[in-house]
């Protein structure tokens, strides 16, 4: 992955910057969105609006943590490419997500809406409920 070229591009449907993973929920949602659509790249260690590269501390630990979060929280299983990219005296964690052949992917423990139906995803178990049935 070419970090210099990615930093020239603005954030959009296939590129996202995250300063850190202090709250990983946003990064996980981005990874799921990329897998469910056209794919994309997530760069951790880059500020959103300014594209300033802050880098990440302990990139190997962060890579392992993110890999575990992806494995534990995204269903069906998704295996993006994780890569540590050098940048001057720091490093950026890059996540390349390709469009999935087994869409849709979901985060476990959330209730995404699909029209008038809510899809409950909890530890890899899917259940469909009508919103009307839930409110009755």
pLDDT at site 124: 44
If one compares 123 and 71, the residue with the highest pLDDT of the two is 71
Q: Give the start-to-end residue ranges of the domains of the chain.
A: 3-105
**Could you report the per-residue pLDDT of 9-30, keeping only the tens digit for each?**
999 999 999 999 999 999 999 9
pLDDT at site 45: 98
Q: Is residue 100 a contact partner of residue 36, using CB atoms and an 8 Å limit?
A: yes
pTM of the entire predicted model: 0.80
Coil, helix or strand at residue 81: strand
- Residue whose entry in the numeric block shows the structure tokens 């202090």: 22
pLDDT at site 136: 46
The matching CATH number, chosen from 3.40.50.150, 3.30.950.30, 3.90.440.10, 3.40.50.300, for 3-105 is 3.30.950.30
Q: Is residue 69 a contact partner of residue 131, using CB atoms and an 8 Å limit?
A: no
What's the rounded Cα separation, in Å, for the pair 134 and 102?
28
pLDDT at site 128: 46
- Would you say residue 78 has pLDDT above 80? yes
pLDDT at site 8: 95
């Amino acid at each position: 992955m070419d970090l210099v070229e990615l930093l020239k591009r603005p954030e959009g449907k296939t590129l996202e910057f995250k300063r850190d993973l202090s709250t990983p929920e946003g990064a996980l949602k981005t990874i799921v969105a990329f897998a469910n659509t056209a794919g994309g790249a997530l760069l951790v260690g880059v500020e959103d609006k300014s594209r300033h590269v802050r880098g990440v501390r302990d990139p190997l630990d962060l890579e392992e943590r993110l890999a575990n979060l992806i494995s534990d929280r995204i269903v069906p299983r998704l295996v993006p490419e994780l890569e540590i990219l050098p940048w001057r005296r720091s490093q950026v964690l890059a996540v390349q997500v390709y469009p999935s052949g087994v869409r849709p992917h979901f985060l476990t423990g959330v209730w995404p809406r699909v029209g008038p139906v809510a899809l409950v995803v909890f530890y890899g178990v899917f259940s469909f409920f009508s919103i009307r049935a839930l409110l009755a």
